[in-house]
């Protein structure tokens, strides 16, 4: 019976953790750029692009491959930042919880 109560308590902690993490993801926004700011993107915690800004100078060169590379680099950097922040926030949230098997 004690194991069942312990399991219920763990499940409650996990659910609370999931709710807190979801709230933080909903509020998370990161900016990333490439090419010295020639391409800038904003991404939310769900890894959805919110905005893309391309400096008009990029169009002047008419180098579509460069533009593609810059957009790709900026998006990948934003996704990396989201992953970093997510890992940090998960660590902060779970730091005080005693969840066997998760640490």
By DSSP bridging, strand 49-54 and strand 29-34 are unpaired
pTM higher than 0.75, yes or no?
Answer: no
In this structure, is the dihedral angle defined by the CA atoms of residues 38, 42, 48 and 49, taken in order, positive or negative?
A: negative
Q: Are 70 and 39 in contact (CB under 8 A)?
A: yes
Domain ranges of the chain: 25-92
Q: What is the pLDDT of residues 42-90, one digit of tens each?
A: 999 889 999 999 999 888 888 889 999 999 999 999 999 999 988 887 7
Q: Which residue is associated with the tokens 């810059």?
A: 70
Determine the CATH number of domain 25-92: 3.30.1310.10
Q: State the Cα–Cα distance between residues 59 and 66, nearest whole angstrom.
A: 10
């Amino acid at each position: 019976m004690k194991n069942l109560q312990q399991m219920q308590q763990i499940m409650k902690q996990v659910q609370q953790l999931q709710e807190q993490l979801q709230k933080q993801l909903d509020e998370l926004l990161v900016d990333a750029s490439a090419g010295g700011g020639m391409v800038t993107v904003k991404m939310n915690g769900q890894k959805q692009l919110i905005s893309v800004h391309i400096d008009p100078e990029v169009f002047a060169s008419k180098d579509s491959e460069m533009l593609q590379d810059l957009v790709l680099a900026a998006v990948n950097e934003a996704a990396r930042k989201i992953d970093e922040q997510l890992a940090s926030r998960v660590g902060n949230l779970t730091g005080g919880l005693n969840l066997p098997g998760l640490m």
